[in-house]
Amino acid sequence: MIRAKLTIPILYNSEKMFNFYLYNSSYVSADSKAIEDNLVALNDLAVKDKKENDAFMLHASLWDTQTVDGSFGEVVFSKMEDAQFSMLVLPRLFQMIDSTETEIFDFDDFDARYKIYNAFYGVNFNIPEMDRCITGKESYTQFRDQNIWEVTPASFWERRESLFQRIILCPSVENDLHKIGGTYLGQIISKLQELDKYIAGFWKEGAFNYVGANQKAALNISPESHKTMSQDKYKNQRMFSMPDGRRECFELHIKTGNLRFHFLPEGNMIYIGYIGKHLDTDRFN
């Protein structure tokens, strides 16, 4: 009778960055309340707030896994305290979770089949790799944050949309990163993180105020001089394409070490048009 409710199409992971597998053994010593709490958190992660580069998966054998209060399937659909959650939310949740063809028993198998950051999801774990065992939002966030910043110049560009919520790197920056290589990558990440943090905490509305940004964050932002911007040969060096194809002038810039970050504030977002050496000015060329 329960089997009919648990028919889920077999789907396939399409090389997501983060893979989370519902680990059968983690539910063996869990009671229905612990499982319900675990699935409430899972619904937030896999449905409500799911990130584009996440994949959640399970194997059909999970339904027959024996828990403290019966099989996992029995608990999910007949022993939850919140009947509405069981009847309305959980069916949709499990439709959003991929089904693997074979069960995954350990991380060696997991890592051989899926790239690149793999973690088990469940309630109770007794395995060495606890930093890769997710039990809810806190451990999920910790796992993601720990791994997403392990980047190279190439992967940094590939992950740009996942790394920053309020900063958009324009197309020209891809070539800038290629030229710079890994020498200044840490410095670039640190400064963009500081900028992203400032936007989230202080720029809620109105025009972007670089003076206020300098006061509240270690950014060292300045505009160009009037004399520089009044000369086309210098202004044109600061013209870059937006993601939608528009050409705009990126006058404001962050100064840090040997690098300059030229950016354009628009719609409570920061568009980075250039990262590289000091551009020519009326006084520096």
User: Using one digit for the tens of pLDDT, what is the confidence trace for 92-120?
Assistant: 999 999 999 999 999 999 999 998 899 99
pLDDT at 4 over 50: no
* Dihedral, CA of residue 152, residue 158, residue 160 and residue 162, to nearest 10: -110
For the chain, give the mean pLDDT: 91
Among left, alpha and beta (phi > 0; psi -120 to 50; other), residue 108 is alpha
Single-letter amino acid, residue 67: T
pLDDT at 13 over 60: no
pLDDT at 266 over 80: yes
Q: What is the mean pLDDT of residues 246-258?
A: 95
Q: What is the pLDDT of residue 44?
A: 97
Which residues have a Cβ under 8 Å from the Cβ of 117 and sit 6 or more positions away? Answer: 17, 18, 19, 143, 147
Q: What is the mean pLDDT of residues 20-32?
A: 98
For CA atoms 96, 138, 16, 27, the dihedral sign is: negative
Cα separation, 171 vs 157, in Å, equals 10
Q: In what order do the strands lie in the sheet with 54-58?
A: 98-99, 54-58, 18-22, 117-121, 133-134
pLDDT at 47 over 60: yes
pLDDT at 274 over 60: yes
Domain residue extents for the chain? 2-148, 153-276
Q: What is the pLDDT of residue 7?
A: 42
Give me the residue label for tokens 């991929």. 98
pTM of the model: 0.70
pLDDT band at 15 (very low <50, low <70, confident <90, very high): low
Q: What is the pLDDT of residue 183?
A: 87
pLDDT band at 210 (very low <50, low <70, confident <90, very high): very high
Cα separation, 122 vs 158, in Å, equals 30
What is the CA 143 to chain-centroid distance, rounded? 11
